[in-house]
Amino acid sequence: MFRLDNKKAVITGGGSGIGKSISKLFALEGAAVHILEVNSESAHEAAEEIKKSGGAVIVHKCNVAEQKEMKNIFENIGPIQILVNNAGIAHVGKADTTNEKDFDKVISVNIKGVYNCIHAAIPQLRKAGGGCIINMASVAAQVGIPDRFAYSTAKGAVMAMTLSVAKDYLLENIRCNSISPARVHTPFVDGFLKNNYPGKEEEMFEKLSKTQPIGRMGTPDEIAALALYLCSDEASFITGCDYLIDGGFVKLNN
């Protein structure tokens, strides 16, 4: 079950964190993986790990916020069956403490980047006879989280885009769903704690972990497993859905 043999998968931000886990798992399950990544060093490291495991992978250094760049890359890749819109950036700030430059940057990557990839991918999904799009949303789109104004705004838009795309391409055999993680232990989290809480990393890690009712953060591999299911033929009856993977954060935090 859940094999991706003879399928071509494009994964944005596939060189690190959640994206890296998705890239590795999809390749392990038989997909030909194309990693789209602004950080070529991390992307090539991920690709080497995939190749050592016998997987097929190609790296494309790019910026998802640049539409022309995305169109060229997707045209060169050709027909695809899977797109995972995972690339994104975080931001800390309230409405009155978020400056315009930072707001525009978050919107450019987290909203326009998703749009650019969907816009470029649809013709290639059509050529393949259909397929699946996964957008990485967040619990921040569904509940109020302190100091995440721009990020929450962007992830709310991603959820709305997911519904729109699912509706518009129902009859073309193109499914679209989103995944909404809570806190996941990635290198970003470690860097955030090191930069903002020097000397108190362990204490703050424990505190952040316990904001999930289940008592810990998620792992990138757990998110990847959900993405694999949603992109597999076994999930062919699922479209227009958002999947919380949050240790009870949204429904049980009361």
Phi/psi at 15 (nearest 5 deg)? -95, -10
Nearest residue to 160 via CA among 180, 146, 145, 131: 180
- What torsion do the CA atoms of 208, 210, 216, 217 make, to the nearest 10 degrees? -30
Residue 58, beta-bridge partner list: 34
CB atoms within 10 A of CB 16: 21
Please state, in angstroms and rounded to a whole number, the distance separating the CA atoms of residues 186 and 194.
Answer: 13
Please state, in angstroms and rounded to a whole number, the distance separating the CA atoms of residues 65 and 47.
Answer: 23
Please tell me which residue in 115, 151, 169, 243 is annotated as part of the active site. Answer: 151
Question: What are 216's two structure tokens?
Answer: 């810990």
In the annotation, is 151 catalytic? yes
Transcribe 81-119 into DSSP letters. Answer: SEEEE-------B-TTT--HHHHHHHHIIIIIHHHHHHH
Please state, in angstroms and rounded to a whole number, the distance separating the CA atoms of residues 89 and 78.
Answer: 27
Please state, in angstroms and rounded to a whole number, the distance separating the CA atoms of residues 7 and 29.
Answer: 10
Residue count (the chain): 254
Please give the positions annotated as active site.
151
